[in-house]
Amino acid sequence: MAVVTQQAEQIPKLEERIKELATTRDAVRADIDALREQVTILTLENEVTALEEEVNRLLSEKKTLEEKVASFDPPEEVEDIEEAAN
């Protein structure tokens, strides 16, 4: 009888342990989902920052090149062709 009593006492303890583990599992899964979402957001923010920096560099280079082009006087041949076209 003692063995049956011991086994009967184990059942509620095991059931309680199962509930605790299930609760912990669910909480950990929720944490993992939140962390995955945070990683995705941080990764996308890094990509945005990198692309913004690249676009700004390219725009700066474009502006510099446009200013250099504008600083040159057009060759006389081009002026002559433009005058002839008018």
pLDDT digits (tens, 9 = 90+) for 26-40: 999 999 999 999 999
Angle at 18 between CA 14 and CA 22, to 5 degrees: 170
* Range list of H helices, the chain: 2-71, 76-85
pLDDT digits (tens, 9 = 90+) for 36-85: 999 999 999 999 999 999 999 999 999 999 999 999 876 666 566 667 66
State if pTM tops 0.85. Answer: no
